[in-house]
Amino acid sequence: MKFGVVVFPGSNCDDDTVYALQHNLGQQVVKLWHKDHDLQGCDFIILPGGFSYGDYLRSGAIARFSPLMNEVIAHANRGGYVMGICNGFQVLCEAQLVPGVLLPNINQKFICKNVHLKAATTNSLLTSGLDKARAYKIPVAHADGRYFAETSILQEIKDNDQILFQYCDAQGQITPDANINGSLENIAGVCNKNRNVFGMMPHPERAADEALGNTDGKIILEQVLSVMVS
């Protein structure tokens, strides 16, 4: 499998993502500049974290119109895999590749710390091999991470089993106190109806190396490799 990591002006987790995929998972990875029009034959596209275009106007709103996003959207519509992490999740929402929006955190502050999340489903490539009873420790770093969707859309997401991750405590309990940003239903990640586009706010690439003292993120990223043997 060949991975492509899209780089926008203001991306700051592109190198982290490339390192995790290339060095920790042993995969072929290329960077894709946002002004290009060629996905270079990549099978799996990742929109990394950061502050695309300085988060001016609205997080992800400008990046959604970068030239390469036309190719990313077409790739997703053909059934190709796309994943957005943090700011990348925001871009996916702005491009309507996944449902919902990411609003400012309920405390109106930037949150940067380790949190816990658990898989809400195993019915997706990204979560297929995860233990639903386990709390995974993954870093977050965002100011606009509060997941929101209108009541009818939220119900549709739940009915279609599109919730990928929910914030929980260290014991795996989904509680109001564990909801770091005020997201509806403690939602930390969702997928599209076709289950080939994934968005999540926490940063698995920042917890994918033993030198960091945490490899829970590597476990999550490893799930996407199952397509290679499917």
Mean pLDDT of the chain: 96
CA–CA gap between residue 158 and residue 181 (Å, rounded):
20
Please determine, for residue 229, whether its predicted confidence score (pLDDT) is greater than 60.
no
Strands 2-7 and 28-33: parallel
Which pLDDT value is given to residue 55? 85
Q: Which residues are catalytic?
A: 86, 203, 205
Question: What is the rounded average pLDDT of the residues 77-82?
Answer: 97
- The 10s digit of each residue's pLDDT in 33-66 is 999 999 999 999 999 999 999 888 889 999 999 9
Task: State how far the Cα of 46 lies from the Cα of 66, in Å rounded to an integer.
Answer: 15
pLDDT at 114: 97
The answer to whether the beta carbons of residues 82 and 109 sit under 8 Å apart is: no
Per-residue pLDDT reduced to its tens digit, 108-165? 999 999 999 999 999 999 999 999 999 999 999 999 999 999 999 999 999 999 999 9
Q: What pLDDT is attached to residue 230? A: 47
In the chain, % of residues over pLDDT 90: 94
The yes-or-no verdict on residue 228 having pLDDT over 70 is no
**Would you say the pTM of this structure is higher than 0.85?**
yes
Domains and CATH numbers, the chain: 2-228 (3.40.50.880)
Distance CA 26, CA 198 (A): 21
Question: Can you give the pLDDT at residue 56?
Answer: 82
